[in-house]
Amino acid sequence: MNLRTALLTACLALAAWPAVAAQLMSAPVAVATPQESAGLVARLTALDARQGLTNDYSFRISSQHPGVTGQKITRAQHTYKGLRVLGSESVVVTNAAGDIVSVSVADRRPGLTPQASTPGGAPPAPPLPTGADLTPTIGTDEAIRIAVQAIAPGGTHRWPPTAELLIYPVMKTVRTAAAGDKPEEQLNALDLQEVVDRYQLSYLVQLRMAQDSKLIYYDVVVSARDGAIIAQWPALQTVVGSGNSQYNGVVPISTSATASGFQMLDSARGSGGKFGGMAITNADHSSPNNPDPGAIYTNSSNTWGDGQQYNGGSTTNANGQTAAVNALWGLMNTYDTNRNVLGWQSLDGNNTATYIAAHVGTSYDNAFYDDSCRCMYIGDGNSFTSLGAIDVIGHEMSHGVTAATADLIYSGESGGLNESNSDIGGEMVEAYARNGGTGSVVPAAGNDWMMGKEISRSGEPLRWMYKPHKDGSSPDAWSTSLKNLDVHYSSGPNNRMFYFLSQGSKADPASDYYSAYLTRTPAAMTGIGNDKAYRIWFKALTTKFTSATNYADARNKVLLAAQELYGATSKEAIAVQRAYAAINVGADIDEEGGGGGDGEAVERVTNGGFETGVTGWSGATGVIGAHSGQSAYEGTRFAWLGGNGRRSTEMLTQQVQIPATASSAQLSFALHIDSAETTRSTAYDTLVVALRSASGTAIATLATYSNLAPAAGYQTRSFDLLPYKGQTVTLSFAMREDRSRQTSFVLDKVSLLTR
């Protein structure tokens, strides 16, 4: 055993996520003190310093919310020379002691190159901005004026406009080396990667305006050098378009007593906020271009509404109350779904109360979530009926959850994922509510997988989650043009992914539930149900997604969430891979048991967790043990390759057999990389994962990892080895370090499951 170089991470508790699917989110977390925030920034900066980054690079804490019990999630924006780099951030999970458990990163900082896991990788990073590049020539007022002139010159400000000076990474899409010659129509989402083309000093101008009975909410990126508009995207998150509820019959609603009767204030759900609890207010036809939420609904008795569509008369009589009943029942069930199933309290996880204002405008065909007030507004409809249906409420309130967590940029693929998260939330709330609104799981059925069907006068929903293209505009699968669509349409493929993940697919090409991208066995993938699908998705959203997450990144992070909850080779993790493959994001794989229970999984790796020492392994077996300075992914032992800080090579191997009759063969392992190297461009230290023949001849290189991809915690990796069925192969993990500055490749939980 070589003496390891002292590491900063030796004092960090880089614990693995326990594979327990029923974990609940913590109770609301206290906002960090300035000292606590500074301490976390210092630790993140120290990790950067190990990679040779100067004090030009730092972090800015942007939000905090609960993680699973005993953990906190902090979002840290990346800064360069004191300026935020838009879309570049770290999602940091810490335990009760403040130790870093895991970090999910989207790194777009100047001078840093995206790291590919295989040769051929990303192109060089653009040059660092100079001092002149970071000196604005226009001020904030001028930037706001330019943005207003471009978006709504005749509009009025509903909320004061803001302009933040920052560094805007102008992105471009490049092909991976393996996809260089692929025809455009054959490209998969994982064949492309987004890299920084150039940096521009810019203002992010946020306009929250109104004009001609319309709310005009836009984020506009204005060059701070010449005033040119670089990018813009809408920021208003809409659906587009015992009480007697309109859609659900007689439903129980939670109200509060007053001196003269009752009010629609639910003090049992949420605290603080504008009204001190969850509330429904009467906007009483307040103009949609500057709606006033009005006062909380009151009534002399505790029986509300007549269950009928609003007829245009009084907003306070029984008919006018029905829209408020719809809203309160929807708000209660949205709160209860996330609280009882996930432990997540209200929109922000910290139990801050929200409210919904009913009767906005006159015959207003919209409902929207406004993050400026963290509230929702509902119109009475014209082409639609009242927009307070259960899935619409769940959809809009889920925008609030997104705003409090990943804050997905409302444009391109990230905007589509933002909308998709709300559609997913709407459907899960509908399933929960339709089955009585109680219990700790999302019921397996009850939702219709059609967004807004109840509010449609024609019976046609806004969106079909299982077959998005039925609306004529939403694609069923990812393509290179997806990022150019309106976010309500670019949400389509991910909606379909979630449907397949929950409900499975069909093998009949004529079916709406069929995907031609599912080419492995069985042709009809098996779903894992609403409850597990929602837990996986919510974990990825809250602990891994960043504001710039696209479809390829989402697939990898949803898969990681499934592996952490249920295991690296679990049926749930396989279902995630198949569901994303069904929308052309990643490759399809064979299902465990062929989908029909006709075979048991067999573990082909001996002692893959290293808990029985060197059993089964050959080569530099001295790297196996319970060494101080690193921690195991599971159990107490692991294999620590590297970490020597001098020229060295270490290899671990194990011979395995893949039966000729195998229908699936999945290799997986957990890998943690940390490094003292200071470069961000040269791979000095590497770990090559390969297959070799019995004689030692290389058959295939599965991946190459290096000092360029350190991470604060284990990452799980998986590979399809079915092409090698009928062969006896040797798994090889070969580490090489150069003459100085250590890189550690810590390996655990190696598994090869065949069926």
By annotation, the residues acting in catalysis are 396, 488
SS3 219: strand
Give the whole-angstrom CA distance, residue 174 versus residue 191.
9
Cis previous bond, 34, omega within 30: no
Vertex 463: Cα angle to 235 and 21 (nearest 5): 85
- Alpha-carbon distance 218 to 233, whole Å? 6
State the angle between helix axes of 551-566 and 530-543 in degrees (0 to 180), rounded to the nearest 10.
120
CA distances from 746 to 349, 627, 666 (A): 34, 11, 20
Cα separation, 477 vs 474, whole angstroms = 9
What φ, ψ does residue 660 adopt, rounded to 5°? -65, -20
Short-list 213, 92, 232, CA closest to 148: 232
CB 455 within 8 A of CB 387: yes
- For the chain, what percentages of helix, strand and coil (3-state, to nearest 5) are there? 25, 30, 45
Q: What is the DSSP string of 144-183?
A: HHHHHHHH-TT-EEEEEEEEEEEEEEEEEEEE-GGGTT--
Strands of 633-709 (E only): list them. Answer: 638-642, 648-658, 665-675, 686-692, 698-706
**CA–CA distance from 354 to each of 317, 376, 601 (Å)?**
24, 8, 48
As a whole number of angstroms, the distance between CA 133 and CA 149 comes to 25
In the chain, the amino acid numbered 529 is G
